[in-house]
Structure 1
Amino acid sequence: MKKTLVILLTILLSIVMYGCTSSGESEGAGNSSGASNDTGNNNEEKPTLTFGKTPWTSTVPPTEIAKKVLEEMGYKVEEKQGELGVVFTGLSADDVNIFMDYWEPQHKQYLEEYSDSVEIVSTSYEDADWGIAVPKYMEDVNDVGDLKGKEDTVNNEVLAIVESDPAVQDIPKAIDEYDLDMEMTNSSEAAMLAAAKEKIDEKEPVALFGWRPHTMFNLLDIKLLTNNKAPELFPSATVSVVANKELKEKAPEAYEFLSNWRLPIDDMEDMLVKIDEGKNPEDVAQTWIDNNQDTIDEMKGHQ
């Protein structure tokens, strides 16, 4: 009888111990699952970032480079094209997150208007010269003032890009300052360059709006005129990256990369020439990335 009782007690104790062990394992499995969920939260999908893109050629290389790097960092990227005013409206509403080609002082009025929601993140390059340009074969015209008395040789006009672009606002001011018998003729960038090229191919005098970096200096063999009488006009520009102020919180890694952004003006002009020669902009951007990986790593914060 005692032997039977001992056997029953042993069996009962085994059952209780097994139950405790099973419960502990089950709780452990639950904890493991919870840890897995935390890891998943740390690897949340990164947001889609939208770049503003104006019709200017100078917007293309930096946008293509930044897009490719951010894609490698795990971001999805999109583009919204439009004139500068449209881009800044998008930036202010956070429909556009990033714009790679903000020129100051030319575009300062837009940044001031939307300063509550848009900020400068970094500087790409400085000393971007701009103003009235003429072909180099116009050897006796080197300053805007030299056009005085020769207005009819350039058809009494300065060819320029669209009138809504703030960059051209100094042209009428220069015409008035030098009392030139000229007017500003506005069109798209492509139309302006085509009209100037037609004149230059015939070795005819022409005056147009010019800025660096741009392929026009390679394509047309032109020179920018000095502005000795009114040096406050056409001051050298600083070109920067601007973004919606929510970007830092929305995409901190992307913000860090862009805050360290830099792109030498000589590299810009070299890429623009290659694109103008017919090379694919994405391929040109990728070549720059491949040749400047150390710089990219520095801009990414050695990630």
Structure 2
Amino acid sequence: MKRFLMGMMAVLVLVVLAACSGDTIDEGNEGASTDKKDQTIKFGVTPWTSTVPPTKIAKLVLEDMGYKVEETNADVSSIYIGLSRGDLNVYMDSWFPTHQIHLDKYEGKVEDTAISYSDARSGLIVPTYMEDINKIEDLVGKEDLFENKIFGVEPGGNAAKIIDELIEGYGLDMEQVNSSEGGMLAQAIRLIEQEKPVVFYGWRPHTMFNKLDIKVIDDSKGYFSNPEIHVMTNAGLKEEAPEAYEFLSNWSISIDDVEEMIVAIEDGGDPEEVAREWIDNNQDKVNEMIGK
């Protein structure tokens, strides 16, 4: 009986050890299942042509790194709300100092992560055939030539607010007519084709400077400044997805590359194919950004 009891005890010990070993293995597997392959990086995408190239490149690189990626189309104010709540992780096309107001509003919840490029430009645009209009002061007294209208992008955005402030600051007898980027440009192109006076909001990077004979008029009062384009992230991304954050914090691209990609996309190229071509042609740069 004694030998029988000792044998039973030995069997029980082995069973317990096996169970503990199994628990350890399961816990190890559980830890492995939380790697980046199970993480989704969510991008906010504004309805601007300049947003698409950097977003598509970053999306493909992150997918190559093993992440899942989702895109959400929204206006810039909604994207900052999403970043602050953690509903979105990344926005690739934030214009500074114009968007500083959003960063101030969500301080501590949204992080200014990288400068994408620093040689952008924005302001009021006229056709070059308007030789006597070279600065905003030149519009004063000639507002009726333009039917007292300045064409701008979507209402509620910072660019629209700046234009309203500019109209008041320069004492212009004009009103801003807001629409989408496409709607604004369609109206401007229609008038340019007829060689009529038109003033509208423009920025670089954009194919409007490749396709239209236009110029930015000087803003001596500084309502518009030469912007930098920044990458913004949710403040928690650094801890939640450190490898993705490292890549985004090292991000940079030239404005010329962005404009070339915009042209290729507008000429019918698939955005992801255009982005993949950029990656293939700039693999050394991509490797630097991901820390290889």
What is the TM-score normalised by the length of structure 2?
0.88
- Mean CA deviation greater in 192-201 or 36-45: 36-45
- Mean CA deviation greater in 35-44 or 152-161: 35-44
Q: 1:21-68 deviations in whole A, cap 9, x for unaligned? A: xx99xx79x869957963773464421111011111111111100000
- In structure 2, what is the equivalent of residue 238 of structure 1? 228
Cα distance in structure 2, aligned partners of 1:113 and 1:227: 27
Cα distance in structure 1, aligned partners of 2:202 and 2:64: 35
Cα distance in structure 2, aligned partners of 1:170 and 1:298: 37
Cα distance in structure 1, aligned partners of 2:247 and 2:60: 12
Q: How does 1:198-213 map to 2 (within 5 A)?
A: 198-213=190-205
Q: Name which one, 1 or 2, has greater alpha-carbon Rg.
A: 1
Percent identity over the alignment? 47
Mapped pair 1:126 → 2:118: yes
Runs of 4+ in 1 over 3 A off after TM superposition: 30-45
- In structure 2, what is the equivalent of residue 217 of structure 1? 209
**Match among 154, 159, 162 for residue 154 of structure 2:** 162
Cα distance in structure 2, aligned partners of 1:43 and 1:187: 46
- Displacement of 1:276 in angstroms is 1.4
Q: 1:217-253 deviations in whole A, cap 9, x for unaligned? A: 122221111112x1x2101111111111110111000
Residues 107 and 167, structure 1, Cα contact 8 Å, conserved in 2 = no
Cα distance in structure 1, aligned partners of 2:51 and 2:180: 15
What is the TM-score normalised by the length of structure 1?
0.85
Mapped pair 1:151 → 2:140: no
Q: How does 1:286-301 map to 2 (within 5 A)?
A: 286-301=276-291
Q: How does 1:31-110 map to 2 (within 5 A)?
A: 38=28, 41-42=31-32, 44-46=34-36, 47-110=39-102
Q: Helix, strand or coil: the match of 1:119?
A: strand
Unaligned runs of 5+ in 1: 1-19
Cα distance in structure 1, aligned partners of 2:168 and 2:77: 27
- In structure 2, what is the equivalent of residue 280 of structure 1? 270
Cα distance in structure 2, aligned partners of 1:274 and 1:156: 35
Q: 1:152-201 deviations in whole A, cap 9, x for unaligned? A: 22221110001211122222222233322211111111110000010011
- In structure 2, what is the equivalent of residue 188 of structure 1? 180
